Chain A
Amino acid sequence: MKKIISIALLVLLWSCEKPPSEEYKPELNIFCLLRTNAKEQRVEVSRSYKMDEPSDYDLEDVIVILSGDNFTDTLIPETDTPGLYKDSVEIKPLHTYHLLVSAKDMDTVRGRTSVPGDFEIIYPEEGDTLSSAGDSLVLKKSKGARGYYIILSIVVDTTYSGSYSWTESQDTTQDSLVSYHIPTCFHIWESGSGSGIIKIIAMDTNYWSYRHKWDWEEEGIRLQEGIEGGLGVFGSAVVDSVRIFIKRE
Chain B
Amino acid sequence: LLFLILFVNSLSTGIVKGFVSDGSNGEKLPFANVYLKGTEIGTSTNNKGYYILQNVPEGRYRIVASYIGYEEFEREIEIKRGSVITLNIELKPKPITVKGIKVTAQRTRFERSVEPSRVSFSQMEIKSVPRFFEADLIKVIQLMPGVVAMHDLSNKLYIRGGSPDENLVLLDGITIYNPSTHLFGLFSTFNPDAVASAELFSGGFPAKYGDRLSAVLDVTTKEGNSKRFTGEASTGLVTSKLLLEGPIPKGSFLFSGRRTYFDLIVWGFSKILGIDISLPYYFYDGVAKVNYNPSMDNRFTWAGMGGSDVISISEEETNEKISLRWGNQGTSLRWRRVLHPKLYGEILGALSNFFTRFSYKSEEESASIGQDIIDYTLKPDFNYFPSKYHTVDFGFETKRIEFSEFWRYSGEDTTMEENPPPLIPYTFTGYLQDKWEINPILYIQPGLRFIYYSIGNRFRIDPRLGLKYHFRANTALNFGVGKYSQYLVTLNSQESYFSIFDFWTPVDQSHNLPTAYHIVLGIEQWIGEGERLTIEGYYKKYYDLLIPKDNPLFFSFPSESLKVGDGYSAGLDIFLRKSYKDLYGWISYSLGFTKRRVNGKTYSPRYDRRHNFNIVIGSVIPERIPLLRKAKIDLRWYFATGLPYAGFLARYRRYYYDFKEDKTWYWWEYIRGSRDAYRYPPSHRLDLHLEKNIEIFGINGSWYIDVINVYAHKNVILYDWVYEDFQTGEEFDPPKRKEVSFLPYAIPSFGINIRF
Contacts and interface: CB of A to CB of B under 8 A. Distances in A.
Nearest to B671: A220
Interface in A109-154: 134, 149, 151, 153
Contacts of B655: 31, 44, 232-233
A29 B648 contact: no
B677 interface: yes
B237 interface: no
Interface in B624-658: 646-657
B661 to A, nearest CB: 10
Interface in A204-233: 211, 214-223, 231-233
Interface stretch (A51-59, A66-74, A86-94): A51-59
Contacts of A48: 650-652, 671
Contact of B737 (A29, A51, A53): A51
A214 B671 CA distance: 12
Contacts of A49: 650-652, 734
Given A31-B664, A151-B660, A201-B659, A51 B677 contact: no
B674 interface: yes
Contacts of A55: 651, 653, 733-734
B411 to A, nearest CB: 10
A50 B591 CA distance: 34
Contacts of B610: 15, 17
A231 B660 contact: no
Contact of A11 (B572, B647, B650, B671): B572
B622 interface: no
Contacts of B659: 149, 151, 199, 201, 239
A220 B655 CA distance: 17
B646 A218 contact: yes
Contacts of B654: 223
B545 to A, nearest CB: 16
Contacts of B413: 134
Contacts of B457: none
Interface in B705-747: 721, 733-735, 737
Contacts of A33: 657
B550 A218 contact: yes
B611 interface: yes
A226 to B, nearest CB: 14
A182 to B, nearest CB: 14
B523 to A, nearest CB: 12
Given A15-B611, A33-B657, A42-B664, A216 B650 contact: no
Contacts of B555: none
Contacts of B551: 214, 216
Contact of A46 (B611, B652, B657, B660): B652
Contact of A51 (B550, B650, B653, B660): B650
Contacts of A217: 550
Nearest to A29: B652
B75 interface: no
**Most A Cβ at <10 Å: residue of B610, B657, B733:** B657
A26 B650 contact: yes
Contacts of B321: none
Contacts of B420: none
B721 A22 contact: no
A240 to B, nearest CB: 11
A164 B671 CA distance: 33
A7 B675 CA distance: 32
A47 B737 contact: no
B674 A22 contact: yes
Contact of B675 (A44, A46, A53, A218): A218
Contact of B734 (A12, A15, A51, A201): A51
A156 B291 CA distance: 74
Contacts of B593: 15
B681 interface: no
B651 A51 contact: yes
A35 B662 CA distance: 11
A27 B651 CA distance: 10
A107 B655 CA distance: 20
Contacts of A42: 664
A232 B669 CA distance: 11
Contacts of A219: 646, 672-675
Nearest to A51: B648
A223 B678 CA distance: 23
A231 B653 CA distance: 10
A21 B208 CA distance: 47
Interface string B538-566: 00000000000011000000000000000
A216 B649 contact: no
A164 B660 contact: yes
A216 B563 CA distance: 15
A221 B670 CA distance: 8
Contacts of A27: 652
Interface string A15-36: 1010010101011010101010
Nearest to B656: A211
B670 A220 contact: yes
A50 B650 contact: yes
Contacts of A149: 659
A31 B658 CA distance: 13
Interface in B234-272: none
Given A22-B649, A33-B657, A48-B650, A53 B734 contact: yes
Contacts of B675: 218-219
A42 B649 CA distance: 28
Contacts of A233: 655
Contact of A24 (B591, B650, B656, B657): B650
Contacts of B648: 51, 220
B392 to A, nearest CB: 40
A29 B591 CA distance: 44
A219 B734 CA distance: 22
Contacts of A12: 611
Contacts of B733: 54-55
A223 B551 CA distance: 17
A46 B649 contact: no
A220 B672 contact: yes
Contacts of A29: 652-653
Nearest to B735: A51
A17 B654 CA distance: 35
A50 B550 contact: no
A22 B733 CA distance: 22
B664 A50 contact: no
Interface string A229-247: 0011100000100000000
B668 to A, nearest CB: 8
A51 B721 contact: yes
Interface in A146-205: 149, 151, 153, 164, 199, 201
Nearest to A26: B650
Contacts of B646: 218-220
A20 B674 CA distance: 10
B39 to A, nearest CB: 40
Contacts of A220: 646, 648, 670-672
Interface string B678-698: 110000000000000000000
B737 A20 contact: no
Contacts of B550: 216-218
Contacts of A54: 733-734
A44 B649 contact: no
A211 B658 CA distance: 12
A215 B669 contact: yes
Contacts of A22: 647, 649, 673-674, 677
Contacts of B678: 20
Contacts of B672: 218-220
B338 to A, nearest CB: 48
Which are the 5 A-B pairs with shortest beta-carbon distances?
A: A220-B672, A31-B655, A48-B652, A24-B649, A216-B551
Given A31-B666, A223-B654, 6 more contacts: A24-B650, A27-B652, A42-B664, A48-B650, A51-B648, A218-B646
8 contacts: A15-B611, A20-B673, A47-B652, A50-B649, A51-B735, A52-B734, A55-B651, A199-B659
